Amino acid sequence: MAKTKGALIGCGFFAVNQMHGWQDLDGVEIVAICDRDPERLHLVGDQFGVDRRYRSADEMFDDGGFDFVDIATTVGSHRALVELAASHAVPVICQKPFAPALADAKAMVAAAEKAGIALMIHENFRWQTPILAVRAVLDSGVIGEPFWGRVSFRSGFDVFSGQPYLARGKRFIIEDLGIHSLDIARFLFGDASRMTARTRRINPDIAGEDVATMLLDHDNGITSIVDVSYATKLPEEPFPETFVEIDGSRGTLRLGKDYKLTVHGPDGTTRSVVAPNLLPWASRPWHNIQESVALIQKHWVERLAEGREPDTSGRDNLKTFALVEAAYRSAEYGETIAIADLL
């Protein structure tokens, strides 16, 4: 069978994981890559044996010859590149954060719909093995109907050495990391209708907020807390683990350090370890995120072949991105924000 051909734009820090993920997938081949920076183009092209290399995305699209494009650039270029893909009717994956602002994200969804192409946001945290394990427990019904939840990511890890742009943005932790945690909250507890948030900047050397505490009212009556911090100095650094607590009508679930999952129900308590697999190209502590990259890319290829909308489609991810926007507004004005007013 002919291989599905992809192209990748943005050969930076994170794209290497995406290239590994594509390389591992049977039936997929990345046939062209693009980066404005010739050094990154050279490094990634040589590492993954891709001969077609472009410094301009326009030129790469003009030459064509691929079935989808994977955008792994930083947020400022996402709208222009998605619109470029739409103008060439090429299905597109775009890294998170979706866009600089909700209006841009809506325009991107509209462009993809008008062109009749699939648009998936690379929102991979819900594809992490421990998060999928939590979802499976909820689906089993063992803890009954959830009524309260917490999604927590607290760390002192130096993310700025690998991703220096994170120290410079006016927005930091909610836009970069909280966006994943908010998507996990939607994945586990359903869509949210109201958001109340508070933020702080503890690290004086960065421009944006590095601590956020968010309270969500979900449509189905669940209340959740999503709390994120890069200013939390713990005796054992948990990066990049997400902790989850859920209380249900029949029991409780706790996902804690080292991927330990405790489920308590009417028939007793089970304790297990739901650690991610360490893929051959992965390295600790990033392996949890790296495996989720491989899984979301597999999902994309499957859905593309079936002609079905991916789980984190642009349309779906507007609801996650609206929570980001709402959190910043709530923190700025000290008010609770109705999500429906944004969508």
Alpha-carbon span 141 to 42, nearest angstrom: 51
Binding region for ligand NAD (CB under 6 A)? 9-15, 34-37, 40, 57, 72-75, 77, 95-97, 122, 124, 163, 165, 176, 289
Which one of ligand 89V, ligand NAD, none interacts with residue 159, CB within 5 to 8 A by kind? ligand 89V
Is residue 176 at the binding interface for ligand 89V, with CB under 6 A as the rule? yes
- Within positions 207 to 266, which residues make up the interface with ligand 89V, using CB under 6 A? 240
57 binds, among ligand 89V, ligand NAD, none (CB under 5 to 8 A by kind): ligand NAD
Q: Minimal distance in Å, beta carbon 18 to ligand 89V?
A: 12
Q: 106 vs 126, which CB is nearer to ligand NAD?
A: 126
End-to-end CA separation in angstroms for the chain: 42
Tell me if 93 contacts ligand 89V by CB under 6 A: no
19 in contact with ligand 89V (CB under 6 A): no
CB nearer ligand 89V, residue 21 or residue 240: 240
Q: Which does 79 bind (CB under 5 to 8 A by kind): ligand NAD, ligand 89V, none?
A: none
Residues 280-299 that bind ligand 89V (CB under 6 A): 289
Q: Please identify, using beta-carbon distances, which residue of 72 and 177 lies nearer to ligand 89V.
A: 177
Q: Does 163 bind ligand 89V (CB under 6 A)?
A: yes
Q: Does 324 bind ligand 89V (CB under 6 A)?
A: no
Q: Residue 177: name its binding partner from ligand NAD, ligand 89V, none (Cβ under 5 to 8 Å by kind).
A: ligand 89V
Output 228 or 253, the one with its CB closest to ligand 89V: 228
Residue numbers at the binding site for ligand 89V (CB under 6 A): 159, 163, 176-177, 180, 240, 289
